[in-house]
Structure 1
Amino acid sequence: MQINGNAVEAHSGEFFDIINPATCELIDRVPKGTEDDVEVAVEAASSAFKGWASASPQQRARILYIAAGIVRQRKDELAVLLTREQGKPLAESKNEIEGFAHVLEYYCGLASSSHGDFVPIPQNGYAFTVKKPLGVCAAIIPWNMPALIMAWKIGPALISGNTLVLKPASNTPLTNLTLASILSEAGLPPGVLNIVTGPGNIVGESLVKSPKVKKISFTGEARTGKRVAELAACGMKRVTLELGGSDPMLVCDDADLEAAVLGALRGRFYNCGQTCTAVKRLFVFETVAEKFIKKLEAGIRNLRVGNGMHENIDMGPLNNRRQWEYIKKLVEDVEEKDEGRIVTGGRVPENGVCSKGFFFEPTLVTDVPRESRLLKEEVFGPVLPVVQVKDLDEAIEEANNTCYGLGASLWTKNLDKAHKGCEQLNAGIIWLNQHLKIAPEVPFGGTGQSGIGRENGPDSLSEYLDLKTVMLKT
């Protein structure tokens, strides 16, 4: 763990192993944090708050900008570390590391934009508003995109003048720890950013319960997010919850099928399907379904699966044994219960390269009944169910038949269909003729069981600021 920018041993003296998901080999060991460690980290953040909050926005931005530059310089070595602990191909890891730097640079550009307003009050003087940082904030992040989601949390929190305690996922803390060291190297004062590694039921809960923590930003599964909200409510803390989704992709009869197939391939199998906004349910018009599915099947069969450290790999392993066993059992149930036809994939690869890790073939399933788990659950892995629909009305109805509402994509050349989809699809972000792309310049978040609050974009700064109104009578 890191307190005040320095690596320290946990109070318990215990460690947990970090495993390479492609080989199941031990990479490293990190401290198993305790409630005492969380208290030390929160105290460090609390002590650093006054000095960091009083720094000018330009001073804060300068440090983050320097850090982003160092990250870009060390992109290759950081990508290797990320691939070893997370499993994704090196190209995807490099993209994520660049994303981390880009997010910090984006918030540097917003440093001076968060200010109050002047409000004339007729016959009663005027008023103005002042925005102040909240204080100590906490961030809890997942293992699927550890570097990028770390940036989503620390960017707005730190540029707004808050200090932060971050709990990384137990499977992927190494890249986060290294990035924190780079921020310290760039000049981030001691205590402004602290990391505590350890189990969620101890480190995470202690962070949320801490009376000095004013805001919690959590990304993860819905069940854990509800627990975070429950604990935070006792202290009237602010929360941002990004809880995943079951994103639909709708392919109309007038869509560019070549582009849609490429969108489905990337949207589903990027990061081995372990992305909150991945294509998890695909609805295609009956009139083009046969042609579309054949093209999609061919594309899936051409995906190269293997260790992300090797060249020309399209998809790495699942991140951990729990995910691997879940996906394997899910597909086995589809076959045993006759809940669809597996067109391609559906097996653990038998070649020697994939024999030791948590690999699973990219899988396409058609003829999926509406009650199937493939359509009801958030399937966090490389399995894509396809459902044929008659028209856009049926596609939208089926797409909205979920408790989630994170993202959705619509593929059409027709402006009326595009408008109808944007109006009627229940999702926090809707893509037209694309899927998965998330830019830091725009708000990101969902509805329903996909969470509350928004990350990214200028509005994300308000999540980390208190608004004070001052009334003056003249």
Structure 2
Amino acid sequence: MQIMVAMKMQINGKAAGACGGECFEVKNPATGELIEQVPKGTEEDVSLAVDAAVSAFEGWASTSPQQRGMVFYRAAGLVRQRKEELAALLTQEQGKTLSEARNELEGFAHVLEYYCGLTGSLRGDFVPVPGNGYAFTVKKPLGVCAAIIPWNMPALIMGWKIAPALISGNTFVLKPASNTPLTNLTLASILNEAGLPAGVLNVVTGPGETTGESLVRNSNVRKISFTGESKTGKRVAELAASGMKRVALELGGSDPMIVCDDADIESAVAGAVRGRFYNCGQTCTAVKRLYVFESVAEEFTRKLEAGVKKLKVGNGLDKTTDMGPLSNRRQLEFIKELVVEVKEKDEGKIITGGKVPAFKGSDKGYFFEPTLVSDVSGDSRLLKEEVFGPLLPIVTVKNLEEAIGEANRSIYGLGASIWTKNLDRIRAGCEQLNAGIIWVNQHLKVAPEVPFGGVKESGFGRENGPDILSEYLETRTIMVKTP
């Protein structure tokens, strides 16, 4: 049995768009139009999904890594063949532009191909033991693994979660975000079409408090990988601890970007525009705090403002759009609230943006102008909380020491970047910035070839890279004494 589905298949065992029980609506955040209805999963649905994964485990674990890799290889090819239709679906349910959706789907395909190439790395070691013969180790998959993923990058994060687990021989249950399940369901069906056996990958739709908690509590789930806000991540860790499950948490971030006085200003401006406003600012590793040396602050801010003003806000399906809407009303109201607070408390100066854009149909979606705020007070929530949206605070600093100090004041530690040509400053930034990933003269890019994750309130555990395979395998040691 397989609990999963794409729109043309079934979801939680129920026909998509014709829910027999409770449903939730998936709407286009640019227009408010209904795209699809999907069932609200129950604890029973989760149990059925996990049972399906348990039943499929032995057969999948005994399949050679090379055969598993070929499924990924075929699936990556199918994703690329259907990229345009998949991109349109992703844009409609999430809001991002078509170009951003295409990039994300390319990223998903690349993740599959990367782990396909690591199948030869699934091996143990041989260890001579003086006086006792020898020992060797073998790697065994954990069993059923699971993930709870967010709505901002549903395709890419799905790839990060399922690929290392499945290539290692585990089976999987995925819970997508309630407002962006359709691309995940379609990608799962493509994997099945590519040869993934029934029950190996199962998708259960539904609210976190029901399906998410049931998934974490289920005794047959041996590892949980969660990406989302810190408060929910702590709850996941708490529930998983009682079952001695492995846990990986990629939580909130408030990434600082430091621009030194010797930086390439043009490149840094372009990096800030893309790093903050890509995906309407709804990226875990987006530039969320900007620290600029005061000697170049005026020039940098002027050029940044000019770059931001060039961004066209609109429906992501419009090929001329540079930035789509926020993904849901909750995010829109949060950004509005922050702007009002800045004004009422005199916590900064709004340079550009700060309101809902005025164009035909903008009142039907969750649109907000790309916004810059200068002279931001150190007590502002813009510098303390994770701001998921198109709002960028700018702070001037005297030197690198002050910039690093301010950058490290955050409770988060996901990513950070430093822009300079000076090797000593680069070394200082890489050594002293307290973050899981540090970029030099770039920001935002996260490749599957390298480990990714945070420190402090940004969580623990890592995604990606070859070492992640060990997180989905158990080491079994075998001691052999020669006669």
2:153 aligned with 1:145 = yes
Provide, for residues 205-234 of structure 1, a one-character-per-residue CA deviation record: whole Å limited to 9, x for no partner: 000000000000110000000000000000
Task: State the secondary structure of the residue aligned to 2:366.
Answer: coil
| CA 1:195–1:399: 2 relative to 1, 3 Å | same
- Specify which of 226, 230, 236 is matched with residue 238 of structure 2: 230
Change (3 A) 1:51 1:4: farther
Is residue 425 from structure 1 mapped to residue 433 from structure 2 by the alignment?
A: yes
Contact 2:2 2:198 (C-alpha < 8 Å) held by counterparts: no
| Letter paired with 1:426 | N
Other-structure match for 1:41: 49
Counterpart of 2:395 in structure 1 is 387
**1:321 corresponds to:** 329
Which secondary structure state, in structure 2, belongs to the residue aligned with residue 348 of structure 1?
Answer: coil
Q: Which residue of 2 aligns with 1:401?
A: 409
**Structure 1 segments unaligned to the other structure (5+ residues):** none
Given residue 50 of structure 1, which amino acid in structure 2 is its aligned partner? E
Query: Which deviates more, 114-123 or 193-202?
Result: 114-123
Unaligned 5+ runs, structure 2: none
Given that 1:4 and 1:44 are in contact with CA atoms closer than 8 Å, whether structure 2 keeps it comes out as: no
CA displacement 1:80-124 (0-9 Å, x = unmatched): 000000000000000001111000000000012121111222333
AA at the equivalent of 2:296: V
Partner of 2:3: 3
Once the 2 structures are TM-superposed, how far is the Cα of residue 353 of structure 1 from its aligned partner?
4.0
Pairing of 1:429-440 with structure 2 (within 5 A) = 429-440=437-448
What's the TM-score, normalizing by structure 1? Answer: 0.98
Which of 454, 468, 475 is 1:467 aligned to? 475
How far off its partner does 1:351 sit? 1.6
Matches within 5 A, 1:329-408: 329-408=337-416
1:331–1:346 contact (8 Å) kept in structure 2 = yes
Q: Per-residue CA shift, 1:145-200, capped at 9, x if unaligned?
A: 00000000110010000000000000100000100110111111000000000000
Q: Give the deviation of 1:355 after TM superposition.
A: 2.4
Cα distance in 2, alignment partners of residues 120 and 83 from structure 1? 56
Q: Map 1:16-95 onto structure 2 (within 5 A).
A: 16-95=24-103
Query: Quick one: distance in 1 between partners of 2:376 and 2:183?
Result: 39
Does 2:142 correspond to 1:134?
A: yes
Residue type matched to 1:3 in 2? I
> 1:160-179 residue pairs with structure 2 within 5 A?
160-179=168-187
Partners of 1:384 and 1:295 in 2: CA distance = 14
Could you tell me whether the CA contact under 8 Å between 1:12 and 1:33 is conserved in 2?
A: no
Scaled by the length of structure 2, the TM-score of the pair is 0.97
Q: Find the aligned partners of 1:79 and 1:398 in 2 and give their Cα distance.
A: 39
Q: Which residue, out of 188, 198, 203, partners 1:195?
A: 203
CA–CA distance in 1 between the matches of 2:480 and 2:63?
A: 27
Counterpart contact for 1:4–1:192, Cα < 8 Å: no
- Alpha carbons of 1:57 and 1:65: their partners in 2 closer, same or farther (altered >3 Å)? same
Distance 1:355 1:2, change over 3 A: farther
Aligned residues of 2:31 and 2:365 also touching (Cα < 8 A): yes
Measured on the aligned residues, the alpha-carbon RMSD in Å equals 1.2
Q: Is the 8 A contact 1:306 1:353 kept in 2?
A: no
